């Protein structure tokens, strides 16, 4: 009789080093960015021509859809196939958690945004003026605005809180990974209109807030909800979002001053009051995350 052949032991996968994790994260973000540009130029050329100076909803939708396709593809190629991560590890929560997570995220983002504007009215010299339009036109415009903001917010979450954050958190830990990608998130907004150093800092702080929301129940859906909740609330109050103005009927928001307090033309994100409210959001998300880990 022959002795049974023992199956060959499979060596455990080597842990991901910080340098390799940084390389994978850079490949994901940089590769996705380049692929997005290529797809956007192609789609723009096929749907009315490409104009490098074009602005407006058409270009935003082309960029957003191209980005979602590019980063969705790289999530599968790099995250799933290259690194062997499954959907749970990538924080793509199942449907049962997605809707509650998204809804909770909306509140988590909307409350600090509304509070920042409210404080600007009380502490600063911000105020509302009457504008043309009625309630019906206001609601119609907000519907169109949310249709633009929602996919753009999802794209930024996949880009900055997706594969890169999961990969970096393995060797570095969650907090360093969140901080590192939040700095990258801020740099990505460097050329937004009417930007200031405080505005850039607050966007980085918002990145920390969203990075923590990524680890709450619902995963990326919660982070998406928080991102959309912040942006849509500011837009609903006619306040600029990261320097980008939105034309909303019925009301007209005047930021007043001083700029360092209310944010001025950059919107509430450019002021110290938003620093305070985003900080409160971080505290709530941190406590919630720690409770889930306990």
pLDDT digits (tens, 9 = 90+) for 84-107: 999 999 999 898 899 999 999 999
pLDDT at 5: 43
pLDDT at 54: 61
pLDDT at 52: 59
Q: Which residues of the chain are modeled with pLDDT < 70?
A: 1-14, 49-55, 294
pLDDT at 95: 87
Q: What is the pTM of this model?
A: 0.92
pLDDT at 216: 96
Q: 3-state SS of the chain? A: CCCCCCCCCCCCCCCCCHHHHHHHHHHHHHHHHHHHHHHHHHHHHHCCCCCCCCCCHHHHHHHHHHHHHHHHHHHHHHHHHHCCCCCCCCCECCHHHHHHHHHHHHHHHHHHHHHHHHHHHHCCCCEEEECCCCHHHHHHHHHHHHHHHHHHHHHHHHHHHCHHHHHHHHHHCHHHHHHHHHHHHHHCCCCCCCCCHHHHHHHHHHHHHHHHHCCCCCEHHHHHHHHHHHHHHHHHCCCCECCECCCCCCEEEECCCCHHHHCHHHCHHHCHHHHHHHHHHHHHHHHHHHHHHC
What residue spans define the domains of the chain? Answer: 93-293
């Amino acid at each position: 009789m022959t002795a049974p052949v023992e199956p060959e032991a499979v060596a455990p996968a080597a842990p991901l080093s910080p340098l390799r994790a940084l390389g994978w994260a850079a490949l994901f973000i940089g590769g996705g960015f380049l692929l997005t540009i290529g797809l956007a130029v192609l789609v723009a050329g096929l749907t009315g021509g490409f104009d490098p100076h074009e602005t407006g909803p058409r270009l935003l939708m082309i960029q957003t859809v191209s980005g979602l396709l590019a980063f969705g593809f790289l999530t599968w190629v790099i995250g799933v196939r290259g690194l062997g991560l499954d959907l749970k590890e990538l924080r793509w929560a199942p449907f049962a958690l997605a809707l509650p997570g998204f809804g909770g995220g909306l509140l988590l983002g909307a409350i600090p945004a509304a509070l920042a504007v409210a404080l600007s009215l009380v502490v600063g010299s911000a105020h509302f003026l009457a504008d043309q339009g009625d309630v019906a036109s206001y609601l119609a415009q907000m519907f169109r605005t949310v249709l633009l903001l929602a996919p753009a917010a999802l794209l930024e979450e996949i880009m900055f809180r997706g594969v890169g954050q999961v990969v970096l958190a393995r060797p570095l830990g969650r907090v360093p990974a969140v901080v590192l990608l939040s700095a990258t998130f801020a740099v990505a907004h460097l050329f937004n209109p009417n930007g200031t150093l405080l505005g850039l800092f607050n966007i980085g702080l918002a990145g920390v807030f969203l990075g923590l929301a990524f680890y709450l129940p619902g995963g990326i859906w919660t982070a998406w909800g928080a991102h959309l909740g912040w942006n849509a609330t500011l837009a609903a109050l006619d306040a600029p979002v990261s320097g980008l103005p939105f034309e909303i009927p019925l009301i007209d928001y005047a930021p007043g001053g001083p700029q360092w307090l209310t944010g001025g033309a950059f919107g509430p994100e450019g002021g110290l009051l938003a620093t305070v409210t985003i900080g409160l959001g971080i505290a709530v998300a941190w406590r919630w995350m720690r409770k889930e880990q306990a």
